[in-house]
Structure 1
Amino acid sequence: MTADASLPVLLIVEDDEGLQRQLKWAYDGYQVVIAGDRASAIDLMRLHEPAVVTLDLGLPPDPDGTSEGFATLTEILAIKPDTKVIVASGHGARESALKAIALGAYDFYRKPVDIDELGLIVARAFHLHGIEAENRRLESATGEGSTVLGSIISAAPEMLKVARTIERVATADVSVMLLGASGTGKELLARAVHEKSRRAKGQFVAINCAAIPENLLEAELFGYERGAFTGAVKTTPGKIELAQGGTLFLDEVGDIPLPLQVKLLRFLQERVIERIGGRAPISVDTRIVCATHQDLDAMTADGRFREDLYYRLAEIVVKIPSLAERPGDAVLLARHFAHRFAREMNPRVTGLAPDALAAIDAYAWPGNVRELENRLKRAVIMADGKTVSAADLDLPGTTPDEPQLINLRAAREIADRRAIHQALIRTENNISGAAKLLGISRPTLYDLLKQYQLGT
């Protein structure tokens, strides 16, 4: 069996060969690597830098004690302090647990091993590691611009309005529907709803309903009992159950097939599920946030999406503007991505050249923020000079469609506001630089700022 390099790496440190085999085949959602002693564990740690490690304290040459296990724990955390190490032992459980946590272990598990229970601990550890890594990335980001909701970068009124809406609805325990094109940041906003809610201490569990085959989606959502179907070798909780006390994010909810929509509706009405192959009802308290780029109104009208389910899911609807509808934000985000990718991939790059800024500002970005991020990553990697140029971006020469306005004064005011806003962003709020870019004097720019009540 060839390891899938795209899967997160789980390092299992265990000297019992029978348990090694059992654990290796229990975790099909991870790339599992196994070590039987401290030396091989440290070698694999340096090679793979896994986010999560399960560690048996009873390792050779001290299989009946804990000294070698604790030494391994100390070395692992010295190499990668953010690693989530789950320690397992049958030796003096309470004392070992206290010492392991004191040394920096994430969790302690007493032998004998229950595969399902340990699997939940491992899943939680990966989830927490991912959240912490994202927080560190955002905290260390040096890209200019305003951040809203802690992670969304924007200075556009359209996006700030969305942020205020999210902040208000987050505290109300209602279902939220996020509508927007692909790449507009729907999952980031869903996380913001969770993190600002009273459920923030619970798990945020996401599932992309369009990425999972129809015949597997029910098992992913509702879970299954051992023996429920061929290949069901263990009882597995579904995403709904894993989101107990937290938030379940259903991305591309419009792709849920009609038969499964009925079962989802029943859960939303009764807050009870049954795993596939199970008969015992399981109560689940979770909040639903969903997202789609599809027109659900049209889908309900022609019978492709249940109307009663739609109203259950869409107690609050938030429409997310495209990047083209957020004037100036493309430049803000481009600076952020350029700094980030330069730091990670090409330290020679110090920023964006003026022609790159102009090209970014003029382009329509049909793929939204995701397209911008991917384009900047490629440009930073390929850049030969100290700044990313328009040639490095290799953008098609298209511009957004302008609204057709009849009133000349209104058209002029909209054009003035947009030009001033974009000039201030491109010059980082430098009045002299913005005035020069606009081709007007500083006093004229100050007059326009006052006339249009634009702050800097």
Structure 2
Amino acid sequence: MRDVLESLLSQDGYRVDLARTGEEGVEKFQQKPYDVVLLDVSMPGIGGLRALEQILKLDSEAVVIMITAYATFDTAVAAWRLGAFNCISKPFSNAEVLKTIADGVKRRRKDEERRVLKRTLKKSAQKSEIIARSRQMREVMDLIEQVAPARSTVLIQGESGTGKELIARAIHFNSPRAETGQFVTVNSGNIPTELLENELFGHMRGAFTGAVAAKKGLFEVADGGSVFLDEIGNIGLETQAKLLRVIQEREFIPLGETSPRKVDVRIIAATNIDLRQAVAEGRFREDLFYRLNVITIYVPPLRERREDILPLAQHFIRKYAAENNKKLSDEISPAVLSLLESYYWPGNVRELENAIERAVIIARGDRIEKECLREEIINPPKFESYRNGGQSNLSQVDFSRGISFYDEVSRFEIELIRKALDYTGGHQSRAAKLLGMNTTTLNSKIKAYNIRF
């Protein structure tokens, strides 16, 4: 039979190695990987089923096809339970063998692609990919190393553009969950409340008008992995209650279903607002806050870690020079570096990246010059009050009779938003970038404060 199969498969373009016994087959598999292994259940030596076990110990994703003259149900079940890809019974047709082999090769290719993708994602999320020269960011990296192996919920706090998602990815891909499940991102701020629950929990067919088929929710997709809930402070109170159940009970109920489904996910949440203040104002559940706040990682804004500006800028120069096929040195002159380090960076690392991308594209020489930078970086007098940390506003507050903290914070927010809108000529997207928040958050604040411009 070995010779017949070798002839058949060789004629179809496959490279074939032969083994007479189970022991010889296992030894050959140890020496080099194979796309597909064909094993006869009744082969000499340790036999096919024992050889199957040993091969799968060497490579749990090996594609092994069993051939047996004893095509009983019990034999097939035993092989499948051990992890066989498929079973072929004797006598077999050439077409059946070739189709099963082709299916096995296709499965092997998909497994390899998935492994390569996983390695690529893991590499992109390694701590070494986080640029951290400053003491503050080195402390963040140390904390990532400590919390990654745990199951506990993590809350990442920081302004927009500071790299909270990068931190979340590093936590997932440096944890055992990188091998057992996906990293799924949910941008809570960009999904309307009525659609968010459907995205998170899924629905059954017929759950609502237009639900023509069942849909898995993102929690089910991420089973065994991690769910990153970005801008969790924008989630509605009703959805917050359901999130609390997922954290406490490790279960959820899809829309249109009555029985809960168990799920094993790690929740990593991020916010750019003060959740304690949101709790005090009744916008965020206190019990959910304490469930999320098991481990907190604070990502400092770029203005508080100016030592990171130079290595970050050099990284972005190399990145966008390569993407745009430009021969550009990552050397930065003292004059340009002085401007970069003096600017307030309200949009943090994301704004720095955008500024460097633009500078790389318009650079005429072999390095970035002052003229390549945006006007607000070269001449930023309108951001003087930002760089002073808002001291000019605080000096006008009369503490002698006491104040309402939240009223003063609201007044300061209104002033900042008005200044940003004035600076950008009413352009909300650009104003949001300058303020370090997303456009949806800015728009909701404009409506809440009834700001006219």
For 2:379, the equivalent position in structure 1 comes to 397
Q: 1:307 aligns with which of 286, 299, 303?
A: 286
Q: 2:352 aligns with which of 349, 363, 372?
A: 372
Secondary structure at the aligned position of 1:262 is classed as helix
For 1:340, the equivalent position in structure 2 comes to 319
Q: 2:101 aligns with which of 95, 104, 111?
A: 95
Counterpart code for 1:170 = A
Counterpart code for 1:401 = R
For 2:197, the equivalent position in structure 1 comes to 218
The 1-side partners of 2:207 and 2:298 are apart by: 40
C-alpha contact (below 8 Å) 1:353/1:390 kept by paired residues:
no
For 1:69, the equivalent position in structure 2 comes to none
Indicate how the Cα distance of structure 1 residues 105 and 130 shifts in structure 2: closer, same or farther if over 3 A, else same.
Answer: closer
Q: 1:281 aligns with which of 260, 264, 269?
A: 260
For 2:246, the equivalent position in structure 1 comes to 267
Counterpart code for 1:397 = N
Counterpart code for 1:302 = E
Counterpart code for 2:258 = R
Q: 1:360 aligns with which of 316, 340, 351?
A: 340
| Deviations 1:250-293 (CA, angstroms, capped at 9, x unpaired) | 00000110111111112222111111011232100111110000
For 2:148, the equivalent position in structure 1 comes to 170
The 2-side partners of 1:265 and 1:136 are apart by: 32
Secondary structure at the aligned position of 2:203 is classed as coil
Indicate how the Cα distance of structure 1 residues 136 and 194 shifts in structure 2: closer, same or farther if over 3 A, else same.
Answer: closer
Indicate how the Cα distance of structure 1 residues 310 and 151 shifts in structure 2: closer, same or farther if over 3 A, else same.
Answer: same
The 1-side partners of 2:184 and 2:234 are apart by: 18
Secondary structure at the aligned position of 2:270 is classed as strand
The 1-side partners of 2:255 and 2:209 are apart by: 12
Give the 5 Å matches for 1:133-152: 149-152=127-130
The Cα shift of 1:198 comes to 2.1
Indicate how the Cα distance of structure 1 residues 338 and 137 shifts in structure 2: closer, same or farther if over 3 A, else same.
Answer: farther
| Deviations 1:65-90 (CA, angstroms, capped at 9, x unpaired) | xxxxxxxxxxxxxxxxxxxxxxxx99
Larger CA Rg, structure 1 vs 2: 2
The 1-side partners of 2:292 and 2:325 are apart by: 44
Q: 2:229 aligns with which of 221, 229, 250?
A: 250
C-alpha contact (below 8 Å) 1:224/1:238 kept by paired residues:
yes
Q: 2:131 aligns with which of 138, 149, 153?
A: 153
The Cα shift of 1:97 comes to 2.2
The 1-side partners of 2:182 and 2:122 are apart by: 16
| Deviations 1:416-456 (CA, angstroms, capped at 9, x unpaired) | xxxxxxxxxxxxxxxxxxxxxxxxxxxxxxxxxxxxxxxxx
For 1:194, the equivalent position in structure 2 comes to 172
C-alpha contact (below 8 Å) 1:352/1:389 kept by paired residues:
no
The 1-side partners of 2:118 and 2:99 are apart by: 29
The Cα shift of 1:165 comes to 1.1
The Cα shift of 1:389 comes to 0.8
The 2-side partners of 1:392 and 1:223 are apart by: 47
The 1-side partners of 2:123 and 2:174 are apart by: 18
The 2-side partners of 1:344 and 1:239 are apart by: 32
C-alpha contact (below 8 Å) 2:339/2:378 kept by paired residues:
no
The Cα shift of 1:92 comes to 5.6
The 1-side partners of 2:123 and 2:284 are apart by: 39
Indicate the percent of aligned positions where both proteins have the same amino acid.
42
For 2:329, the equivalent position in structure 1 comes to 350
C-alpha contact (below 8 Å) 2:370/2:378 kept by paired residues:
no
C-alpha contact (below 8 Å) 2:122/2:174 kept by paired residues:
no
Indicate how the Cα distance of structure 1 residues 396 and 257 shifts in structure 2: closer, same or farther if over 3 A, else same.
Answer: farther
For 1:8, the equivalent position in structure 2 comes to none
The 1-side partners of 2:206 and 2:117 are apart by: 32
Matched, 1:231 2:225: no
Unaligned runs of 5+ in 1: 1-88, 108-123, 139-147, 405-456
Indicate how the Cα distance of structure 1 residues 90 and 136 shifts in structure 2: closer, same or farther if over 3 A, else same.
Answer: farther
C-alpha contact (below 8 Å) 2:149/2:174 kept by paired residues:
yes
Could you tell me the TM-score, scaled by structure 1's length? Answer: 0.59
Counterpart code for 1:303 = G
C-alpha contact (below 8 Å) 1:363/1:397 kept by paired residues:
no
The 2-side partners of 1:333 and 1:297 are apart by: 32
Indicate how the Cα distance of structure 1 residues 91 and 304 shifts in structure 2: closer, same or farther if over 3 A, else same.
Answer: farther
Indicate how the Cα distance of structure 1 residues 353 and 97 shifts in structure 2: closer, same or farther if over 3 A, else same.
Answer: same
For 1:318, the equivalent position in structure 2 comes to 297
Counterpart code for 2:250 = R
Secondary structure at the aligned position of 1:200 is classed as helix
Counterpart code for 1:96 = A
The 1-side partners of 2:247 and 2:97 are apart by: 45
CA RMSD of aligned residues (A): 2.6
The 1-side partners of 2:160 and 2:147 are apart by: 22
The Cα shift of 1:234 comes to 1.5
The 2-side partners of 1:153 and 1:393 are apart by: 22
